[in-house]
Amino acid sequence: MDHVAEVLGQLFVILLAAKLGDELFKRIRQPPVVGEILAGVLVGPSVLGWYEINSETTLFAEIGVVLLLFQVGVETRLHDLLRVGPTALAVGALGVALPFAAGFGLGTLIGADVGVAVFLAAALTATSVGITSGALRDLGALRTRSGRIILGAAVIDDVLAMLIVAFASGLAVGSLEFGRLASLLVVALLFIVIVLLGGTGLLRRRRSLLTDPQFAATPFLPGMILALGLAALSATIGLAAIIGAFLAGMVVGESSERHALEAELAPVAAFFTPFFFGFIGAQVDVAALAHGETAVLLVGITALAIASKFIGAFAGAVREGRARAALIGWSMVPRGEVGIVVAGLGLTAGAIDSEIYSVVVGMAIITTLIVPPFLPALVRRAAEATPSGEREDGPPAGIEDDDGIETPLPG
């Protein structure tokens, strides 16, 4: 029981710290997510050391982001995503291409060999939709057209990022097979299409499916089972676990008892997500970043990461008008846990050294911290710039969206 006592103590520390950070940032009118991440930096290994990165705290962080995306999925309908498909595809593709080119260029410039440059490029590529989703949810902006484009682009982003990481790993161990890359892509796309069309189709034909079992008064427990299962499956085939959870959410969101599900899911997600945000902060190694040359490299890579992702995603969304394109571009900037995971893979594979690792982790955290403070203004501008007759939050004014709920916009 001693080990369990220790882990319970660490979960207590990170939950308490994250909620105190949340509290402080709410009181000074700053984004709570930033407060939770900074609290994680403070209690984490590199400052106070009260919280440890181990297999249990990692699991809690992972379930935190899994449930966050599950919750976002429940609020997302398939036809809304499909309606923004072409724009989301452009945002996802350009938002991956530019950071990749920038990272590869920088790597070549500082004299790294191809394997290192590709890993650096991969780490700059992948957006962390968890951070943006959390912040957009707080603003009530997830169900807007921009919110849907961001979610769709994030899924495409993750598929491309998975391919790039597989490519980089193949280069690092010297066994690059294009056949394997192609099969990865096919499996990932099949997974997404089958789950989405099969799952939502099944539930649309029988909307009470999830509440038929006697153990399930609401779709909550069947939904949690599906979320865990699809998250595990998604991670097994090489996608992020959160993609599976997001798809699971979209499927169970078709249930007739969706509002009961949302009510029960809310406290579970509220309990788990602080472990994710705190964990992100705890990853940063403050001491390693304090050296002069490393600090310069950090600033350079971070600026490049922000500019390349913003410009790429902005260009993909520019047909939506500049205000929406700016919101979408900015929302894709956080690299969060995805950048950290890619850097960790590169370190393990020996493709990057511990200095570059610290810099990439620092970049992931800074891109994550810098986004939420500017979102409220961008959300407001996107809403104001929307032409009359087409509301930013979906269907034309005066007509309820298909949820029977009108999502208020702030400001």
Min separation Cβ 46 and its own copies, Å:
22
Measured between alpha carbons, how far is 30 from 40 in angstroms, rounded to an integer? 16
Going by C-beta distance under 8 Å and a sequence separation of 6 or more, which residues neighbour residue 351? Answer: 115, 116, 118, 119, 168, 171, 172
Size of interface with its own copies, in residues (CB under 8 A): 52
For 14, 27, 79, 314, 369, the CA distances from 149, given in Å and listed in that order, are: 33, 31, 12, 12, 22
Chain residues 259-288 in contact with its own copies, contact rule CB under 8 A: 264-268, 270-271
Task: Tell me which of 161, 228, 306, 326 binds its own copies, using CB under 8 A.
Answer: 228
Integer Cα distance of 3 and 13 in angstroms: 15
Residues in 74-133 that interact with its own copies by CB under 8 A: none
Q: Which residues contact 140 (CB under 8 A, 6 or more apart)?
A: 407, 408, 409, 410
* Token pair of 359 as six digits: 């810099």
Q: Is the sign of the CA dihedral 409, 73, 284, 297 positive or negative? A: negative
Alpha-carbon distance of 97 to 100, in angstroms, equals 5
Is 350 a binding residue for its own copies by CB under 8 A? The answer is: no
Position 180 contacts its own copies (CB under 8 A): no
Q: State in angstroms the smallest separation of the CB of 150 from its own copies.
A: 23
Q: Does 187 bind its own copies (CB under 8 A)?
A: no
Q: Please, what is the minimum distance in Å from the beta carbon of residue 30 to its own copies?
A: 12
Per CB under 8 A, which of residues 25..54 are in contact with its own copies? 26-27, 32
Residues of this chain, 49-68, that bind its own copies according to CB under 8 A: 55-56, 58-59, 62-63, 66
Nearest to 95 by CA among 48, 159, 31: 159
Given the complex with its own copies, which of 45 and 344 has the nearer CB atom? 344
Closer to its own copies at the Cβ: 8 or 187?
8
229 binds its own copies (CB under 8 A): yes
Among 326, 357, 364, 322, which Cα is nearest to 343's? 357
When the beta carbons of 2 and 293 are compared against its own copies, the nearer one is 2
- Nearest by Cα to 242 from 133, 169, 94, 135: 133
Residue pair 196/202 in contact (Cβ under 8 Å)? The answer is no
Restricted to residues 314-343, the positions that interact with its own copies (CB under 8 A) are 341
Q: In the bound complex, what is the minimum distance in angstroms from residue 368's beta carbon to its own copies?
A: 18
Burial class for 74, CB neighbours closer than 10 Å (0-12, 13-18, 19+): buried
232 binds its own copies (CB under 8 A): yes
- From the CB of 83, what's the least distance to its own copies, in Å? 31
Minimum distance of its own copies from residue 92's CB (angstroms): 21
Instruction: Write out the DSSP string of 166-211.
Output: HHHHHHHTT---HHHHHHHHHHHHHHHHIIIIIIHHHHHH-TTGGG
Closest distance of CB 297 from its own copies, Å: 26
**Minimum Å distance from CB 148 to its own copies?**
27
Q: State in angstroms the smallest separation of the CB of 60 from its own copies.
A: 9
- 349 sits near its own copies (criterion: CB under 8 A): no
Among 181, 196, 235, 307, binds its own copies (CB under 8 A): 235
Question: Position 101: which residue type?
Answer: A
Residues that bind its own copies (CB under 8 A): 1-9, 11-12, 15-16, 19, 22-23, 26-27, 32, 55-56, 58-59, 62-63, 66, 213-216, 220-222, 224-225, 228-229, 231-233, 235-236, 240-241, 264-268, 270-271, 341
